Amino acid sequence: MKFLISAPILLEHLIKVNGAIVSKPVLPILDHFLFEIQNGTLSISTTDLETSMSTSLQVESEENISVAIPSRLLMETVKSFSDQPITFTVSEQTFGIELSTANGRFKLPGQNGIDFPKIPLIESEHTFAIPSNVLLRCISKTVFATGNDDLRLNLTGVFVEISENQINFVATDANRLVKVTRTDVKPGLEHNFILPKKALNLLKSSLSNDVTPIQIDFNNSNVFFTSNNMKLSCRLIDEKYPDYKSVIPQENNNIISINRLEFLDTVRRVSNFSNKTTHQIRIKITGNELAASAEDIEMANEANEKRTCEYDGEDIEIGFNSKFLSELLSNVDHDQVLLKLSTPNKAGLLLPIENELEEEVLMLIMPMMLNNY
């Protein structure tokens, strides 16, 4: 059984699906690529039993083939080839694979594709479509704010809140929260689910930044993403998402308008002198001046820096985790941001001074209790 394929094109598709493979699989065959050829179309699939990815392309083949090929060895071999065709020959008896090029031959073991776990077929109870660039943006704006604590599994994914005329993507790790609302996506149904971080990162690396429609099908346990030649399915996080709306303060009478990049530079510089465990910095706003300071008593480190800002409110002093604040500021697009505060013990809201068309971004950061210097 033979088929012919270009090395660069094959590598491009292998990279797309390689991320679904785990380093220590529960079954040895899970560290393989599944190659399936039907009528000249090659489908390459990977899975960890929770998340599955498939990509397809046309190849020169007169036979139908199903074989599992070791992922690491194949990837490293194909990477080393220049722009040249590769002929794959698969043994019908042993499923061993021979790669032939103009200059050499390479043999590696394979397994019968029938032994590879079945890639889930789309079982849809609900469906809607979203442009690829919109989905990519929503993922990029939220996935970084998810948690890593497996004891709070509901916070390790992104909450997707679907309504008739809009869609919300929400992420929080209990220290910060990001909510992205898109009103140009109109699913026409009411539902919600929690997407796991791994699937989101795979989508983030494979989605195109254009208006290609991505079809989203889902039921109570799984969600399926389909575009032109890419399919991704994953098991949903079966947990209840916290009532995130209850932690968003509604009355924020102290409002700062400041240049985002200048504020970010200040936070980064000052944070170098903060305690390496707490990363705490102190923000004090008086008049039209914002002062950021930090210290690490054990290391005798201390830093202070001032910035001008536009401020409407009472003098206030509040503590934040500089790592979280920097990350939020880095994920705002606009040059000018608003920081809305109520009291030093309540969450602060970070907003772009202007939102993109048909998009609303809200970021929240919890305060840290300040100690007097």
Q: Give the Cα separation of 43 and 26 in Å (integer).
A: 23
Q: Which of 194, 211, 245 is the last residue of a domain?
A: 245
Domains: count for the chain: 3
CATH code at position 323: 3.10.150.10
Say if 99 falls within a structural domain: yes
Q: Are residues 99 and 147 in the same domain?
A: no
Say if 121 falls within a structural domain: no
Residues 142/182, Cβ–Cβ less than 8 Å: no
User: Encoding tokens for residue 127?
Assistant: 């469906």
Measured CA angle at 195 (ends 48, 164), to 5 deg: 140
Residues 184/134, Cβ–Cβ less than 8 Å: yes
Q: Are residues 165 and 110 in the same domain?
A: no
Say if 120 falls within a structural domain: no
Q: Are residues 260 and 317 in the same domain?
A: yes
Say if 229 falls within a structural domain: yes
Q: Are residues 165 and 61 in the same domain?
A: no
Say if 86 falls within a structural domain: yes
Q: Which of 214, 245, 276 is the last residue of a domain?
A: 245
Q: Are residues 130 and 105 in the same domain?
A: no
Q: Are residues 16 and 90 in the same domain?
A: yes
Average pLDDT, consecutive stretches of 10 residues, N- to C-terminus, the chain (373 residues): 91 94 92 94 95 93 90 94 91 93 92 93 90 97 95 96 96 97 95 97 93 95 92 96 94 94 97 94 95 90 94 95 97 94 94 91 95 60
Q: Are residues 231 and 298 in the same domain?
A: no
Q: Are residues 252 and 349 in the same domain?
A: yes
Domain that holds residue 136: 126-245
Q: Which of 115, 138, 158 is the last residue of a domain?
A: 115
Q: Is 228 helix (H, G, I), strand (E, B) or coil?
A: coil
Task: Look up the pTM and report it.
Answer: 0.91
User: Encoding tokens for residue 355?
Assistant: 């939102």
Question: What DSSP character marks residue 280?
Answer: E
Give me the pLDDT at residue 373, please: 45
Q: Give the Cα separation of 54 and 13 in Å (integer).
A: 9
